[in-house]
Amino acid sequence: MGLRERKKEKTRLAILDAALDLFLEQGYDSTTVDQIAGSVEISPRTFFRYFTSKDDLVLWFHDHGEEIMQETLRTRPADEPPFTSMIHAVRAVAHDMEDSTPEDTARFLKLRRLMDENPRLVGLSVARGAATEQRLAVEIAARSGVDVTTDQRTHLIVAFAMSTLRVGFDCPQPDVPDMRIIVDRMEKTLELAQNAFRPGWDV
């Protein structure tokens, strides 16, 4: 990894951290891109070369999450019931977070606080989740050998799994969160979800 790459990654994180702190300090809407750029000493124009939009700052972890889910799906046996595979994918995301660096953990917790205060941002996150859902549905449909554009069952399966992910993570949590607590909660949610369905409903 060359100097260039490392430097880029560094500024990227610097922007992210500065933005999160500013958002929590003075609110999301009252923080301008100029301020964020100023506080990491780059031009506003450059900001948009690292993040396609101000909103995009808030979605940085989604890509990683989706990647993990896609990877997990690929390792699951093709004849496994699709919802089971999806549950494994969701669990993989949670456990990946457990192993994340202290910095990433801090970022995630800040982001959670931010979302608590700005419902609009939760909406953004959900919307992005829906896009992921589409792509996962394609994957699951391919495994089952059905046509993703017509098979509602596949979409339902993926949607239910993503709902579980969302409820586990995003659902209002009164207690001050720590990563351990969040993962535990996710485990509980997964268990609830698994017990909800009729055995063999998704085969």
Partner DNA sequence: GTAATCTATGGCAGTCCATGACAGATGACA
Partner DNA sequence: TGTCATCTGTCATGGACTGCCATAGATTAC
What is the binding site for DNA (CB under 7 A)? 2-5, 7-8, 11, 31-34, 41-46, 48-50, 52-55
Minimum distance, C-beta of residue 39 to its own copies, in the bound complex (Å): 28
Rg, C-alpha atoms of the chain: 19
What tokens does 72 get? 């997990």
**Region of 13-21, 84-92, 95-103, 125-133 interacting with its own copies (CB under 8 A):** 125-133
149 binds its own copies per the rule CB under 8 A: yes
132 binds its own copies per the rule CB under 8 A: no
Q: Give the number of residues in contact with its own copies, rule: CB under 8 A.
A: 43
115-131 per-residue burial string, b: 16 or more CB within 10 A, e: under 16:
beebeebbebbeebbee
Q: Where are the beta strands (DSSP E) in 26-84?
A: none
Q: Which does 34 bind (CB under 5 to 8 A by kind): its own copies, DNA, none?
A: DNA
78 binds its own copies per the rule CB under 8 A: no
Quick one: 3 or 176, whose CB is closer to DNA? Answer: 3
Note whether 69 and 92 are within 8 A (CB). Answer: yes
The amino acid sitting at 25 is: E
Note whether 100 and 121 are within 8 A (CB). Answer: no
Quickly tell me which residue has 């993962």 as its tokens. Answer: 183
Quick one: 41 or 178, whose CB is closer to DNA? Answer: 41
Helix (H, G, I), strand (E, B), or coil: what is residue 19?
helix
Interaction site with its own copies (CB under 8 A): 119-120, 122-124, 126-131, 134, 148-150, 152-153, 155-156, 159-160, 162-164, 166-168, 171-174, 185, 188-189, 192-193, 195-199, 201-202
